[in-house]
Amino acid sequence: MTKAIQSRVQGSLLATGRAFVLTFASIAGSVTLFVLSVLSLAFIPLGVGLLTTPWVTEQVRAHANRRRLLAVTWSDVRIPVPYRPLPGDTGEGLAGQVRRTVLLLRDPATWRDLQWLLVDMTAGAFVLVLVVGLTVYPAEALVLAAGLWRVYEDHRYWYAFVPVDSQTSALYALTLGAALFVAGLWANRPLLRLHFVLARSVLAPTHEQELARRIDRLTETRHEAVDTAASELRRIERDLHDGAQARLVAMGMSLGTIEALVEKDPAQAKKLLAMARQSSAEALTELRDLVRGIHPPVLAERGLGDAVKALALRLPVASEVSVELPGRAGAPVESAAYFAVSETLTNAVKHAGADRIWVDVHHADGMLRISVTDNGGGGAVVGAGSGLSGIERRLGTFDGVLAVSSPAGGPTMVTMEIPCALS
């Protein structure tokens, strides 16, 4: 068996196994959630639905998000998550439940999820059964040809459209089964992808909704960019005022004193000159650190890859950096990626308790992808006030995304993606 045929057989069998698992999720899971959703909505006038609808909707969204994850993992089909965020405080008691239910029902994504459950339990399940059947059904033909046909000597057994009642007819069935198996080798993976494409056609937001979501996102990131720029300016002003500026003022005063002492007390003037020279060196160092904090020279001169390697060299733990960049991104993108990696590495050292860190930087399909993995204790989350939320806001300015996988006990993987082109 050649490697190409072996690879195709393995891929087909893998697709069959995945389709088999998804068949239960599509039939049992989607049917159950659809029935619960309909009942919950029907009971809203009675008041019971006000209590059950938020919970049922949460389960439906979790079910849909698991399918989104499998779609991109198994077939590279990306399905956007269009859910509107709920306010942090919707209130307590019955009033809070009513408000939460109303907000969920006003979200178009809630109704698209219900439509998807219908599609998933019918057309989606049919495609999955077809994938499984193209691999499993030919086994029945093999068993018939091996001798099971004798059981049906007195009455015909239909294998698809072939009547089986003799060894000859069993061989015909085996020929059909072999043809179905070969068809499955070519069709199983595309059929599994078709299942996810069907899900995307219902779950993904419409063009108008996507535009509205993008406008909201751009408005949000614009405000965040303005706030970040203002905060950065305040930091620079504070650092200049408390650091280099204070040293330069002190050095000016020392030079004035030296002018008065240079003839009266040369020895004291010499000491003050030495102190002034030391202050000037410290002020220069602080200015260099300040400039490095604004835009590191290594980033401007040698690019993102070498800048990240320089960051890793300064870490107090062992690190490995892999870089595959055939060109350079725009300066704003490089700067955002650099500081995002810097903060991620700082978090890994300070909070994760890691003793080894891996960094991977590469560009593919119009995306700059960076992953930072550590072997620390895990438990990292993106939330208000966390360092990761700041990184998410920084990347959001460039339509970038942040994904965090950090189970308890570790490891932690932080993945960043920024759409950009390399020059």
Q: How many residues does the chain have?
A: 423
Together in a domain, 35 and 165: yes
Closest CA to 251 of 220, 282, 212, 287: 282
Instruction: Please give the residue range of the domain that contains residue 290.
Output: 214-294
Q: Evaluate whether residue 142 is within a structural domain.
A: yes
Q: Evaluate whether residue 90 is within a structural domain.
A: yes
Give the Cα separation of 180 and 174 in Å (integer): 10
**Which residues sit opposite 159 in a β-bridge?**
162
DSSP string, 192-231: HHHHHHHHHHHHSPPHHHHHHHHHHHHHHHHHHHHHHHHH
The string of pLDDT tens digits covering residues 343-353 is 888 888 887 77
Together in a domain, 58 and 171: yes
Encoded tokens for 419: 């759409």
Together in a domain, 147 and 222: no
In which residue ranges of the chain is pLDDT below 50? none
pLDDT at 56: 92
Together in a domain, 178 and 67: yes
Together in a domain, 27 and 158: yes
Together in a domain, 232 and 144: no
Domain boundary among 240, 273, 294: 294
Together in a domain, 99 and 151: yes
Q: Evaluate whether residue 273 is within a structural domain.
A: yes
Q: Evaluate whether residue 45 is within a structural domain.
A: yes
Q: Evaluate whether residue 153 is within a structural domain.
A: yes
Closest CA to 382 of 402, 367, 366: 402
Q: Evaluate whether residue 196 is within a structural domain.
A: yes
Number of domains the chain contains:
3
The string of pLDDT tens digits covering residues 61-83 is 989 988 988 888 888 888 888 88
pLDDT at 231: 62
Compute the half-sphere exposure of residue 67: CA atoms within 13 Å on the CB side of its CA. 31
Together in a domain, 258 and 362: no
Q: CA torsion sign, 382 to 385 to 391 to 392?
A: positive
CA distances from residue 168 to 141, 143, 144, 331 in whole angstroms, order as listed: 12, 14, 11, 73
State pTM to two decimals: 0.56
CA distances from residue 405 to 261, 330, 358, 416 in whole angstroms, order as listed: 65, 28, 14, 12
Together in a domain, 395 and 287: no
pLDDT at 395: 80
Task: For residue 332, give the CATH number of its domain.
Answer: 3.30.565.10
Cβ–Cβ under 8 Å, residues 59 and 34 = no
Q: Evaluate whether residue 208 is within a structural domain.
A: no
Q: Evaluate whether residue 209 is within a structural domain.
A: no
What angle, rounded to 10 degrees, do the helices at 167-203 and 125-145 form? Answer: 170
